Amino acid sequence: MTDFAQIENSIIEVKKRDGRVLNFQKDKISNAIYKALVACGRPDHSLADKLAEGVMMRLFKQGFSTSSPPSVEDVQDMVESILIDEGLGEIAKSYILYRHERRKIREEKMKILNAKLLDDVSKKFDINCLRVLASRYLFRNNKGEIIESPGEMFERVAVLVGIADVLKDNSVFEVNGGKTQNLEEAKKYLDKLDDFNYKFKIGKYHLNKWHFRGLISHYIDLAKRGQMKVSIKEFLTMLAAKQFEHYAERISEYYEMMVSQDFLPNSPTMMNAGGRLGQLSACFVLAMPDDMEQIMKSSSDAALIFKSGGGVGINYSDLREEGDMVASTSGVASGPVSFMNIINTVTEVVKQGGKRRGANMGIIEAWHPDIEKFITAKTKPGVLENFNVSVGVWEDLWSSLVNSNDGKYMLRSPRDKSPVREVNANQLLDLIALSAWKSAEPGLIFFDQINKYNVFAKARGGPLRATNPCGEQSLYPYESCNLGSINLSNFVKRKADGQYEFDWQRYEEVIRKTTRFLDDVIDVNNYPIPEINEASKDSRRIGLGVMGVADLLFKLRIPYNSREGYEFQEKLAEALSYYSMEESVALAKTRGAFSLCGKTEYPEGKIPIAGYYEKPKSTHYYDWDALVEKIQKHGIRNVLTSTVAPTGTLSMIADCSNGMEPMFALVFEKRVTVGRFFYTNKIFESVLKEHGLYNDQILEKIANNYGSVKGIPEIPEWIQNIFVTAMDIHWTDHLMAQAVWQRWIGNAIAKTINMPNDVTADDVKASYLLAHELGLKGITVFRDGSRHEQVLHMTGDNVQKTFQVVPSTFLTDYIAKGVTNPYLKAQIEKALQIKIPDSEVKLQQNQLTQEQMEERLCPTCKNNLVFAEGCNICIECGYSGCTSG
């Protein structure tokens, strides 16, 4: 045995700052020294390892051993000493600065968390992540002081979710039902929760009284279904006798997924799991029938949802139009917008879970007589500020737009669908586009696309007509949805050449685990009202999604808006739905299919995935036909499994890019009272440093270029091509990115279609037409500068864009070959001024003739345009081709 091997065996522990004694890790010393070497421009792993060995030898000589382990400070002091003695003064200075910076960060973290010591999660997470956790997620006492650590937060979530697994153990659970238990005996435990606070354990994990409530409530629910083999007392006796200890591994698995930042559930789950509220869902939809008693009930239900931490979507189209007769009072109706103001006020005064104000989606369908008033309602500041608003579109409007010569469209009474008045479909879409151009609202929800593959319509007696506040989750009244997102930027592994490749096997494993996690959430959820509890368990809808897509593509050196980028993203989306649905079938075998499964179109061999029908089978990466057969044989546990939701705060906690969005900016400037500094994407920063390009001057230049590297001569072209931002990507390519995900996602996609400030309302209209043609379920456009309040501003004094943005060839090829309707083609190409490839000209000569005629006609009413005052004007309807018109 060598001398150094003896030293390693002698010093095997180190004393941490919190008094714990842990295993000694030489690699940590080596890594810290290496960082100091890198900071001085001398990256040398072998030197770092040699110096680390020297540190251990000196510690040994000074008498440190297993019986007398060194402290962290002892080790760090020894590193400084050996660097100076070896004549590495600059390296020593860098290490001292590094050590000082680490101390400052440690002190700042303790201040943020109101903690005297940091747990392992706090040490790992960066300051921004912890700020988010502290501001919204960590429990506080009645003085407003934080009383739990990040690790304790993730543990209380994992324990509650794991309880659902425990109750489905084969020893106590019977999937086929038929068992009878004493429900009243079980319910009595809900009245004495305090008596069972921290009385039970699963392995090392203690159950607090709110975990215990979740356990009892889930037991009662399963017992009602005849699925519990044992009485509640028998079950608790088994729990006390440690017969479920092996489920501690499952809880640890859930915990590690979260603390490793591989996966996070939606915010209410992290806020409320293991706490008094216990409400874990992000999304709810309520009905709004034309009945005052029901309107007031929905308003009351909305308040309870806001209080519990959720957001609400409501379709107001069933409310009669303003001025219509109300027979019961001989009065006149005030219209749906006035009732939206009731919910807006409720939202204003009820904070979600006491932590944030609720969110709403307000929808009116295009046929409603008050549609114009609704479209323009939010163009004025201060109106319906707690609402996102969207216009619901069906096949009839689309047919009037693209297939009708006169564009006539009938508005109808909500009471009996009788005709009220006729409008022009093009004028209606123009009005929506102009409003969105001005204020980024309303959005469009394509109900025809949402219901195209809706397997649930038969079971629920009609189509889907509402979404959650962000539009990505369609729901029936009183349904909820539990969302979660996988951080794709973590799913890479290093190849021999040092480059990254995607880890498809680990992706599959985590999809399966998180599908089970979200299914468990349904069972241990403390729903705010009984109707939601029932509807949620009837469908068991979950929404597994992603975040970190932009960061992942940066690591893999794949441009977001390239053919390779689109094809890779499509494979990610297909895998997400395939494996989550396959796992849902596996869960159905052991836990049972969702209760309404037999009444849906699943037994007929239909699935809610557009790509299965619309993409040639030869291009599928997975065997969907085999999965369809499994569903027909075994059923499926969850009616839908995949949704790409917004991940604003979640992606901050996971330290990655938002959802499937491109990076908004690679660098942006932040000014505070003590000065100014730059936020830089970490992957981009490491590439700049690796190639000797990192300095304040280049960061400022990028920040002043809208956070983009496009057109900056100091930045190599390959970096410009890979590190694209939202502003580098043409709005048509934003639509294409949303489309490649939408083909394989069961629900919908939360995506902003970024547009530069200089687009026109006609461009916005063209985006709607292209979005529908691409099969999107909804669209939200955001023209830069269209709102006074934006999440992120380019704050440099000398902001100047040095680049032009054009559609990708992938996109233009699609339009040239895939868009065949003459009206659609004319409108889209006019907005883009796309030159069709020569190879396509002969195939489309007839269409081009039609398009040229279209350009001479008013796009709204199809009458002739005249050129006056420097602008095309229609003297029939008043259309103006000028923005100011």
The residues annotated as belonging to the active site are: 468, 470, 472
DSSP 8-state code for residue 663 = B
Give the start-end residues of each E strand in 766-870: 778-779, 781-783, 866-868
Structure tokens at 584: 């849902």
- Helix or strand holding residue 217 (H, E): helix 209-224
- Residue 725 identity (one-letter amino acid): T
Distance, CA of 213 to CA of 216 (rounded, Å): 5
**Alpha carbon distance 466, 444 (integer Å):** 12
Query: Across the strands, what pairs with 446?
Result: 393
CA dihedral 403, 404, 410, 416 (to 10 degrees): -50
**Peptide bond preceding 807: is omega within 30 degrees of 0, i.e. cis?**
no
Q: Are 270 and 344 in contact (CB under 8 A)?
A: no
User: Where is 332: in which H helix or E strand?
Assistant: strand 331-332
- The rounded distance, in Å, linking the Cα atoms of 667 and 556 is 20
Distance CA 433, CA 444 (A): 10
- For 274-330, strand residue ranges (E) read 283-286, 311-315, 325-326
Q: Count of H helices and E strands in the chain?
A: 36, 27
Yes or no: say if 481 and 538 are a contact pair by the CB < 8 Å rule.
no
Rg (CA), the chain: 30
**416 Cβ contact list (under 8 Å, min separation 6):** none
Pairing mode, strands 753-755 and 419-424: unpaired
| 722 vs 555: CA distance, rounded Å | 9
| DSSP codes of every residue in 675-693 | EEEEEE-HHHHHHHHHTT-
CB 746 within 8 A of CB 643: yes
For the record, the structure tokens of 882 come out as: 């000028």
**Cβ–Cβ contacts within 10 Å for residue 107, how many?**
10
The DSSP string of 545-605 is EEE-HHHHHHHHT--TTSHHHHHHHHHHHHHHHHHHHHHHHHHHHHH---TTGGGSSGGGT
